[in-house]
């Protein structure tokens, strides 16, 4: 049975009365507090669970290792039979191998041949490495003493049956699948992949690969956003481009609401004559234009369309990417059941100088070279080439800041966002 969470409230994006410019941290806190998972839950075989989100805590069904075993090829002994200095111990017939255990109990004063991964026979608590002995097949000679438990693995020394392996919201990678398999899991309860509809708006856009008019620009946002969503582990639903026609845009939004859990649009998010996206959300009674104190970016239209959250991104590709990384990425993770995702931040010396004014959080396209963060030559948000030139973002605080070469600055690698 597939379980579906309750819908979000239509007013979940409403800002407090009197809000004008919203600081970045306040905007993030509002998103974190007001959003919750919107994806359903299903049970999936382990082999199909890669990069999926756990819907519940997972406990170990079995200890790993399930029984004490040998870490090396050698000879199993009882530590009480091992003395100091040179000594000999007779061997019993037979051996213990992985998947082929020794059937008896080791008699006091004897040793038994054991191979890596073999369950330790009853009476064995220590293993001596085969390179540390000489043998004629009937007995072994070696030098003592030996540490009790040498070259053995205790039962459950990795995890014990009943231990919590991973919490709900954890994304399963190859290493997680290995541990789940080792402790007996054949299937897991997972969140459905978040479906994100992507829609560009505006008559000024042309499709890449076609002939564009002189007054048009090619749509760079949709290919970028679709690719970003795939890297995040979500399912993009590419709805193409909407003209500057309110009825056509309304139809596309209806389609998006029927096919996706979230709608991500670019362009038309402000309050101009042709900003039909924000106008439609206003008509629906579920629109909030967040003027965020951030550069690049600022206007971020947030609302609900037929019960589906809408993120109206700026039309400029640089601002669209930055706003997606800073605001939409953690919000979509929350909606996907992953919990709030904060990117990893590094403090590194600056390889640039800048006098920053107070009032807005700034994100500069940047990369690390020789241990310093260098920034793209231009801060112009129309310079799309700076996105591929960069390896991440330098984050400058809301307050005024004088940056000189070697001033510590915050660098967020693209990888920290999941790119």
> Cα dist. 146→4, 139, 153 in Å?
59, 17, 16
Q: What is the pLDDT of residue 25?
A: 92
Distance of CA 104 to the CA centre of its chain: 49
**Cis omega (within 30 of 0) on the bond before 65?**
yes
CA distance 146 to 169: 46
**Any idea which fold 346-417 has?**
Beta-clip (2.40.340)
- Per-residue pLDDT for 393 more than 70? yes
Of 310 and 176, more confident:
176
Q: Which CATH superfamily is domain 69-153 in?
A: Molybdopterin biosynthesis moea protein, domain 3. (2.170.190.11)
Query: What average pLDDT does the chain have?
Result: 90
Q: What is the pLDDT of residue 16?
A: 58
**Across 259-270, average pLDDT:** 84
CA angle 183, 189, 195 (to 5 degrees): 135
CA distance 348 to 387: 20
CA distance 413 to 317: 19
Q: What is the pLDDT of residue 1?
A: 56
Record the tokens describing residue 163, joined without a space.
């231990």
Band (381; pLDDT cuts 50, 70, 90): confident
- Quote the pTM value: 0.84
The CA R_g of the chain, rounded to the nearest whole Å, is 30
CATH number of 44-50+55-64+157-191: 3.90.105.10
> Cα dist. 113→108, 130, 137 in Å?
15, 9, 10
Terminus-to-terminus CA distance in the chain, angstroms? Answer: 33
User: Model confidence over 310-324: pLDDT tens digits?
Assistant: 888 888 899 999 999
For the chain, give every domain's residue range.
Answer: 24-39+193-335, 44-50+55-64+157-191, 69-153, 346-417
- Per-residue pLDDT for 346 more than 80? yes
Q: Are 125 and 153 in contact (CB under 8 A)?
A: no
User: Model confidence over 2-56: pLDDT tens digits?
Assistant: 667 766 765 555 555 555 788 899 889 988 998 999 999 999 999 999 999 999 9
Q: Do 24-39+193-335 and 44-50+55-64+157-191 come out as alike in CATH topology?
A: no
**Across 118-124, average pLDDT:** 96
> Cα dist. 151→67, 125, 229, 277 in Å?
14, 9, 47, 67
User: Model confidence over 65-102: pLDDT tens digits?
Assistant: 999 999 999 999 999 999 999 999 999 999 999 999 99
Which residues, at least 6 apart from 379, have a Cβ–Cβ distance to it below 8 Å?
A: 364
> Cα dist. 216→111, 206, 222 in Å?
83, 6, 15
- Per-residue pLDDT for 272 more than 60? no
Give the highest mean pLDDT range of 179-193, 234-248, 300-314: 179-193
- Per-residue pLDDT for 300 more than 90? no
Q: Are 102 and 96 in contact (CB under 8 A)?
A: yes
Q: What is the pLDDT of residue 386?
A: 93
Q: What is the pLDDT of residue 271?
A: 52
Percent of the chain with pLDDT over 90: 69
Q: Please state which CATH class domain 24-39+193-335 belongs to.
A: alpha beta
Position of tokens 């899991």? Answer: 185
Record the tokens describing residue 110, joined without a space.
């004897």
Q: What is the pLDDT of residue 155?
A: 95
């Amino acid at each position: 049975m597939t379980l579906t969470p309750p819908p979000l409230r239509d007013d979940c994006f409403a800002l407090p009365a009197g809000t004008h410019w919203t600081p970045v941290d306040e905007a993030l806190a509002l998103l974190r507090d007001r959003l919750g998972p919107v994806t359903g839950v299903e049970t999936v075989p382990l082999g199909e669970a890669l990069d999926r989100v756990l819907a519940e805590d997972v406990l170990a069904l079995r200890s790993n290792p399930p029984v004490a075993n040998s870490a090396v090829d050698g000879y199993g002994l009882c530590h009480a039979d091992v003395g100091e200095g040179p000594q000999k111990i007779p061997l019993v017939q037979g051996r213990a191998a992985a998947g082929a255990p020794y059937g008896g109990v080791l008699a006091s004063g004897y040793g038994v041949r054991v191979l890596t991964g073999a369950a330790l026979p009853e009476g064995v608590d220590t293993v001596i490495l085969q390179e540390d002995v000489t043998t004629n097949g009937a007995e072994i000679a070696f030098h003592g003493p030996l540490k009790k438990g040498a070259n053995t693995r205790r039962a459950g020394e990795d995890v014990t049956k009943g231990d919590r392996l991973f919490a709900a919201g954890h994304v399963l990678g190859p290493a997680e699948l290995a541990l789940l398999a080792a402790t007996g899991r054949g299937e897991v309860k997972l969140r459905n992949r978040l479906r994100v509809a992507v829609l560009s708006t505006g008559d000024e856009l042309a499709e890449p690969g076609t002939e564009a008019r002189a007054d048009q620009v090619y749509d760079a946002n949709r290919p970028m956003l679709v690719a970003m969503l795939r890297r995040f582990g979500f399912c993009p639903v590419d709805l193409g481009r909407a003209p500057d026609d309110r009825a056509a845009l309304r139809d596309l939004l209806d389609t998006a609401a029927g096919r996706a859990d979230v709608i991500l649009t670019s362009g038309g998010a402000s309050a101009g004559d042709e900003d039909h996206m924000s106008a439609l959300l206003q008509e629906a009674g579920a629109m909030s234009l967040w003027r965020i104190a951030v550069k690049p970016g600022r206007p971020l239209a947030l609302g609900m369309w037929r019960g589906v959250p809408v993120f109206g991104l700026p039309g400029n590709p640089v601002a669209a990417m930055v706003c997606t990384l800073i605001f939409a990425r953690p919000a979509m993770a929350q909606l996907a059941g992953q919990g709030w995702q904060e990117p990893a931040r590094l403090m590194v010396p600056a390889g640039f100088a800048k006098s920053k004014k107070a009032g807005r959080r700034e994100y500069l396209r940047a990369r690390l070279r020789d241990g310093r963060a260098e920034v793209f030559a231009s801060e112009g948000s129309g310079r799309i080439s700076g996105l591929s030139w960069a390896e991440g973002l330098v984050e400058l605080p809301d307050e005024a800041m004088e940056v000189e070469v070697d001033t510590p600055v915050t660098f967020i690698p693209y990888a920290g966002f999941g790119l």
